[in-house]
Amino acid sequence: MTINSDFHDRLGATILEVFSESDFHAVAIRDIARKAGVSFATIYKHYGNKEGLVFAFVDIWMGRLTDRIIDHLQGMANLKEKLRKIFWLQLDYYEKHNEFAKIIFMTLPMKTWMADESFEQRRMFNLLMDVLRQGQEEGLLNPDIDTRILLDFMLGFVQRSFIMWVQRGQKESLADQTDVMFKMIWRGIVTPERIH
């Protein structure tokens, strides 16, 4: 069952517009339908329910970030550079697609979002875990720390920084802070002896 591509585009645009500004439950599916020019019943046919609708699109947008990271990592050997690139790509993507980021970080009920075992979330998780694990195997990243903790360390910083960036008015570029921020992360995860 494929939906008319035009509808799909309009739906996506509407979801970004509406869910980025209002709490998940404050959004009426009828408004989405009206703005997108579809009947709400059609949405139900295609996506099952409100959660299904949003997650379907979130999955797509998350997939694009993962794809972009994979693409950029090609041909890179230096692990630190890889990690810095990953860090920058995230800040950059969330900044450029801040409506998407607002949805996953701010308006989706975290509980629901965490519970969503989507393919794309897992793919992103695996991708990052692989890089970090590789770094630990190479002895570059602190092998005494559970790899998942390394990941939480990075992602927690990214997520909190994005939220506060929005909170503080989206003034200067978020990605421009990559340097400062990544230095902090790197010192935290590098094998202590290699810190300099």
**Binding stretches for its own copies (CB under 8 A):** 22-25, 102, 105-107, 109-112, 114, 144-146, 148-149, 152-153, 155-161, 163-164, 167-168, 177, 180-181, 183-185, 187-189, 192, 195
Binding footprint of DNA, residue count (CB under 7 A)? 23
Q: Confirm or reject binding of residue 46 to DNA (CB under 7 A).
A: yes
Q: Confirm or reject binding of residue 45 to DNA (CB under 7 A).
A: yes
Q: Confirm or reject binding of residue 128 to DNA (CB under 7 A).
A: no
Residue 161 is encoded by which pair of tokens? 């920084």
Task: Pick between residue 29 and residue 72 the one whose CB is nearest to its own copies.
Answer: 29
Q: Which of 16, 51, 61, 58 is nearest to 36 (CA)?
A: 16
Task: Pick between residue 89 and residue 181 the one whose CB is nearest to its own copies.
Answer: 181
